[in-house]
Structures are given as C-alpha cells and as structure tokens.
Amino acid sequence: MARRRETNIFSLSLLDCICCGFGALILFHMIIASRSGRQYEKVTETLRAEVDKREKEVLDGNERLVELRNSFREIDEKRAAAQGLSTRILETLKQIEAELAIYDGQTVAQREHVNKLKADLKSLEEGTKRYSGGTPSQEVPGRNVRSFVGDGDRQYLTGLKVGGKRIFFLADASSSMLAEDIVNAVRRHLFPPPTRLRARKWRHAVRSVDWLAAQMPREAQFQLYVFNTRARPVLAGTDGVWLAAKDGATVDKAIVVGGGLIGFEVCEALRLAGIDTTVIEKTRQILPFLDPDLAKLVERHVRAHGPDIIVGNGVAEFLGEDGRLTGVKLDNGTELPCQLAVVAVGVRPNVGLAQAAGIEIGEVGGIRVDEHMQTSDPDVYAVGDCVECRSLITGKKVRAPYGDLANLQGRVAGQNVVRAGSARFPGITQTGICKIFDYTVGFTGISAKQAQDLGWRNVETATISGLDIPVFMGGKLLISKMVADRETGRILGFQCIGPGDVSKRVATVAMAIRGNLTVADLVNADLPYAPPYSLALDHVIVAAQVLENKLAGRMQGLSVTEVKQRVDSGADCFILDTRSPAEFEEMRLGIGETLIPLGALRDRLGELPQDKDKEIILYCKISLRGYEGAAILSAHGWHNVKVMEGGIMAWPYPREK
C-alpha cells in the first residue's frame, strides 16, 4: 500500500509556489478591477446627473427665449397701438382746439350782448312792477313753503311753492344748458336742434318749469320767456301778454256713467289725474259679473282711493250752459256738478250691414254664426264684437265683446276661408280680468246670481280668503268664490279679487271649466308649487276643498251677506270670534260677537248657549280657525254650527274697529 504524502508549508514544491503566486495575482487583479468598476459607475452617475442638469438648463433657456420673443412681439403690437392712439389723440386735440376757437368767437359775441341782456331784464322787471300795480307782496313769511314729496330728478323742487297774482317764468336757453362742462356744451351746440333738446340739463329745466307751472294758483296770470342773447316768449304772439293760468276747459269733477270694466278703468285714470270722480251705476251693484258680496269689497276698495260710487240710480239728464257741460241730473232728481262725463254703459253690436245683406241675426242681437264662424250666407264669415258665441256652461248664445276672443275667432275664420271646415270655435267660458287701483278683479264662468237668474237651483258656493304666496315671500291677499252644481259637482264659475296674483287662479279654473272638471277633480290637482309662486296648497285647491266639504256635509257655511242679514234682522244667533285677544283689539266687526280664542274653546264651552240647536256662527280672520272651532262644537253635540266664509277679510261692510 502506497504511503500518503504529507504536505506542509515547508515541503511545497516549486510548482505549488508558482500556482499559489499565480492565484494570488489573479485575486489581486480581481480586487483592483472591482474597485475600478465601482469608481467608474460613480463617475458615470455624476456625469449623467451633470448632463441632465445641462439639458434642463437648455430647455429652460429655450422657454425663456420663447417668452422673450412673445414679449417683444406684444411690445411691438402695443407700440403700434400706442402710436395709432397718440395719432388719434392729436387729431382730437386739434378738433377741440378748433371748437374752442369757435367758442371763443361766440363768447366774444355773447359778451357784447350781456349788457343788452341786463337792460332787457331790467326792463322786464319794470314792466312786471307796472303790470302788478307796483304793490309789493304782503304775504306772511313762511306761506311760500310747501312740503312736496318728489323722487328722481324732481327732488330738488321740495320746499317750493308758486304764489302771486302774476308770475313770470324765465328759463335759460343758452348753450350752457346743453351740458355740465364747457367742452361738451360746445360740441352739443353744433348738433341739430332735436339732439340738443335731449340734453339732460335742458330736460331738467323743462321738467322744473312744467312742475312750477302746475303749482300756479288758478286765479293767477303768467308769462313764459326763455333767454339766450335776448329774452323771447315761448308762445308766439304772447310778448308782453299776461296769460290766464286757469284754462276754461279745466276739469275739476268728472262723472263716469256705468260701473263695468271700462267704467272703472276710466275712473282710475281720472282719479290718478287728480280729478274728483263719481261712478254712477243704474243697477244695485257694480261689476255685474261678480256676486254682490265680492262686488261690495271692490266698491269699498275704490272708495278708499277717493272716487265716490252711486248704485241704484241712473243719469236722467246732462246739464250745461254756453255749450259746456256743467253737471248731470240723476233719476232721483239729485244734481251733481261736473265738467266731464264718460258714458261707459256697454256696447251693442252694429249689425246693420249684416241685416241689409239678409244675414240672420241671433236671439241676443248679434250675428248668428256656426262653430266655423260662418254666417247664414255660406260665403260670409263674421267674428268679434258683432257675433254671438255659445256658452260652454249653459249652451246658450251670449255676446262677449272681448279682444282676445275676436283674435281667436279671426284665426278660425281665416283657416276656414282657405280650407272649409278645417277649424272650429267651440265656445267660451266668459273669462275676464281688470285692474282697479291696487286690486285685480278676475272672473270665469257664471256667478251664483247669474246661475239663479238662469234657473239653476242646485248651486253651491264657497268663499275663501288667503294669501297667494307665503308671508315671508311677500304674500298678498286673495278673496275668491267658487260656484258648482250641487248634484254633479261640476264647476260653473269662479271669481277672484285682491292685490295678489289673481290671473293665475282665474286661468286655472277657466281651463277646469272648459274641461268639464268637477270639484273632486280640482281638489287633488297637481299644480306647480314653490314658495315664490304658491302656497303648498294653492288658493284654487283650497277653494275646491272648502266647496267639497260643503257638498259632503262636513261644513255648513254662510256668506258675509247672509250673516249681515241676520244681524240687521235681529235673528237669534250666537256669533263667535275665535281669534286671539290681540287680534280682536286690533280689528273687530262689532256685530255682537263673543271672543273665545280657539285654543281656549274646549275649556270655555260653558260660555256657549246650552241649547244645542241654537245657531252658532264662527269666524276668524280668514275662517280657518272658525272651521276648526265648528268641528270642536259639532263633536260636543251642537247641531246648528256654521262658519262665516272668508272671515273678516271678506267682510265688505263697516267695522267697529
């Protein structure tokens, strides 16, 4: 067996040493190469960061270069615009210099006339003294002070009063009245006269003279002059002539005959012009399309604005002398002075031409037409005030001289002329509206009174009061009356008055009538709601709900007229006001009512009549609490409990407070 060789450091052969040395050399080389690689990577990263930095600087430089180029371009554009503006400014300055030169020339001429103007004024003053007899005014100090509430351009007139027997007006008509500054005054002086007259300063002067002239005493005389280089009268041929302030045709009092739509439109216009106005209506009430209780409310509103109203009396005779109207004589012999009378008693259709042509005239005096607006002559169509219309409620022929209907009928007739039978006009609901001072009065269909006159016996009505929109949105009062057939519930008519939005409510019910809707249909109508436009339950819906309560027997109501009749006749009834003491102290009817607030009613039942069959009438401001109080009393055994519909707000008669 071979013996294993033992090896130690001292027994290595040359070959072993060479191998070890060579391996050490390779290891040393690898170590050096590794360190060099790391240094190379570090240097590479440094160089790479430096390159990125330089690239970013180059990009930033390019961006700044672009910005500088854009700035230079904008500067060039502004320089060009400034050069153009400076050119225009220089041209304007030259123009102004030329105008100033013209003005200087005119000023020299005006200065030459100043002394003459002063002499003219002095002569006029002397003439005024001669005309007035040279007697100085003896008015007590302070009597020329007048409290005048103006607005806008007229505020500076506050405190002025025009007095005296002879009044001289002198207004500046020079170029200085064309503008506040000299340059614009000179420029406007070169404008044509219509443009100069529109100058603000001159318009102020005209308004001032107009106002002052209106304040002259009726017995005064006046002269009106303007001055520029000299004084001259405004009215041709009046130089030195004193004119009477009171025109012989001045109207102090006016009479309006007829209490319908046109009559009250004229009444309002005359009253707003400062003329004492009286409306005379031959029937027992104004506005015949309303029921009497609502007509009374409108009458009270009109009286509150100044005009007087006489009902149940007509004009028998017009009085006058020297060709001028001096008054009217009524049927009862009363004479009323006036300088103006307006007759507004309605219209009659002018059917003379149709009669002469052999065209058939209808039962109410208008031209008979079919639903195509065709007359009895197939080649002739007729529309407007002269024709008869079919009522969609009664089916009878009526006359309705309204402008909107004439336009609708004209369109139908025109279509049928082009193509026969292509259009039809089915009929009308007789809807109308008008403004009377602060009230709007609207109606559609027929009133309860008209229904009774037509022989309608099964008619039920409901009157309500309330706001058109919530209080916090500035709600205004509406008072409405809805009329329906008791058996079928069909809506027959609607009336609405007040300062609130009447038009919307009347339009809603007008379409309900046209669609043959019933009260039950309207109770749950889906109408637009938002606080600026309506209450959560619109006024029309509330009226329908109250009427439904009456039709269903859930409520017994009385109109204010029926309550007034009971009070005047001394009927044995108990009247209960369910408002608060504060409301009662502020406003009350004074018809023998007893105050028991709704919240205390259950605790104070002992104060009511113990006869459970005695008539008890409840109300509040709008009778909502009156209805709640009636429900409480009915639950406690009272059988004859009624609500005054509409409450105090629907009461048209005098109040205690």
* pLDDT, average across residues 18-41: 70
Query: Can you read off the two tokens belonging to residue 224?
Result: 């009106």
- Angle at alpha carbon of residue 528, lines to 524 and 532, rounded to 5°: 130
Predicted pLDDT at 351: 92
**pLDDT single digits (tens) 82-138:** 777 777 777 777 777 776 666 666 555 556 655 665 665 566 556 555 544 444 444
Query: Can you read off the two tokens belonging to residue 434?
Result: 């008008």
* Res. 590: pLDDT tops 70: yes
Give SS3 for 350.
Answer: coil
Top-tier CATH class for 432-551: alpha beta
Predicted pLDDT at 11: 54
β partners of residue 324: 321
**pLDDT single digits (tens) 172-203:** 777 777 777 777 777 777 777 777 777 777 77
Residue type at 316 in one-letter notation: A
* Res. 10: pLDDT tops 80: no
Half-sphere exposure of 76 (CA within 13 A, CB side): 6
Query: Can you read off the two tokens belonging to residue 606?
Result: 């002992």
Predicted pLDDT at 136: 40
* Res. 148: pLDDT tops 60: no
- CA distance linking residue 276 with residue 252, whole number of Å: 6
* Res. 2: pLDDT tops 70: no
- CA distance linking residue 302 with residue 147, whole number of Å: 27
- CA distance linking residue 268 with residue 245, whole number of Å: 26
- Please give the distance of CA 520 from its chain centroid, rounded to a whole number: 33
* pLDDT, average across residues 542-571: 96
- CA distance linking residue 638 with residue 640, whole number of Å: 6
* Res. 7: pLDDT tops 60: no
Confidence of residue 389 (pLDDT cuts 50, 70, 90): very high
Predicted pLDDT at 99: 67
Residue type at 38 in one-letter notation: R
Nearest to 519 by CA among 462, 479, 444, 558: 462
Whole-number Cα distances in Å, 296 to 46, 272, 302, 570: 103, 22, 10, 22
Q: Is 76 exposed, middle or buried (0-12, 13-18, 19+ CB in 10 A)?
A: exposed
* Res. 154: pLDDT tops 50: no
* Model confidence, pTM: 0.65
- CA distance linking residue 242 with residue 167, whole number of Å: 9
* Ranges 84-88, 219-223, 234-238, 431-435, most confident: 431-435
* pLDDT, average across residues 560-587: 95
Domain extent listing, the chain: 86-130+151-246, 253-343, 352-418, 432-551, 557-650
- Please give the distance of CA 195 from its chain centroid, rounded to a whole number: 33
Q: What are phi and psi of 139, to 5 degrees?
A: -65, 145
- CA distance linking residue 226 with residue 229, whole number of Å: 10
Higher pLDDT, 494 or 244: 494
Domain 253-343 listed as CATH 3.40.50.2300: no
* Res. 248: pLDDT tops 70: no
Decide the pairing of beta strands 615-619 and 641-644: parallel
Q: Is 56 exposed, middle or buried (0-12, 13-18, 19+ CB in 10 A)?
A: exposed
* Res. 42: pLDDT tops 80: no
Predicted pLDDT at 513: 97
Percent of the chain with pLDDT over 70: 85
Predicted pLDDT at 309: 97
Residue type at 358 in one-letter notation: G
Beta strands in 402-544 (DSSP E): 432-436, 439-445, 459-467, 477-485, 491-498
Q: Edge to edge, what strands does the sheet with 573-577 contain?
A: 557-558, 641-644, 615-619, 573-577, 594-595
Nearest to 276 by CA among 294, 238, 250, 243: 250
Q: What is the per-residue DSSP string for 35-59?
A: HHHHHHHHHHHHHHHHHHHHHHHHH
Cβ(384)–Cβ(417) below 8 Å: no
Higher pLDDT, 525 or 161: 525
* Res. 409: pLDDT tops 50: yes
* pLDDT, average across residues 578-591: 95
- CA distance linking residue 213 with residue 480, whole number of Å: 46
Least confident of 60-74, 329-343, 437-451: 60-74
- CA distance linking residue 319 with residue 327, whole number of Å: 5
Confidence of residue 246 (pLDDT cuts 50, 70, 90): low
- CA distance linking residue 577 with residue 206, whole number of Å: 58
Higher pLDDT, 367 or 249: 367
* Res. 47: pLDDT tops 80: no
- Look up the CATH superfamily of 352-418: FAD/NAD(P)-binding domain (3.50.50.60)
Percent of the chain with pLDDT over 90: 59
Cα Dmax for the chain: 179
* Res. 642: pLDDT tops 90: yes
| Cβ-Cβ contacts under 8 Å for 515 (sequence gap 6 or more) | none
Cβ(606)–Cβ(559) below 8 Å: no
Nearest to 575 by CA among 596, 554, 601: 596
* Res. 300: pLDDT tops 80: yes
Domain 557-650 listed as CATH 3.40.50.720: no
- Please give the distance of CA 455 from its chain centroid, rounded to a whole number: 40
Query: Can you read off the two tokens belonging to residue 27?
Result: 């290891």
253-343 and 352-418 share one fold: yes
* pLDDT, average across residues 571-583: 96
Average pLDDT, the chain: 84
Residue type at 620 in one-letter notation: C
Higher pLDDT, 408 or 217: 408
* pLDDT, average across residues 41-48: 72
Nearest to 418 by CA among 372, 456, 461: 372
- CA distance linking residue 54 with residue 60, whole number of Å: 10
- CA distance linking residue 249 with residue 218, whole number of Å: 12
Residue type at 479 in one-letter notation: I
Query: Can you read off the two tokens belonging to residue 407?
Result: 């336009």
Query: Can you read off the two tokens belonging to residue 394?
Result: 């009664």
* pLDDT, average across residues 423-442: 96
Higher pLDDT, 512 or 29: 512
- CA distance linking residue 94 with residue 100, whole number of Å: 10
Cβ(575)–Cβ(584) below 8 Å: no
Q: What is the per-residue DSSP string for 227-239?
A: ESSSEEESSTT-T
How many secondary structure helices (H) and strands (E) does the chain include? 15, 23
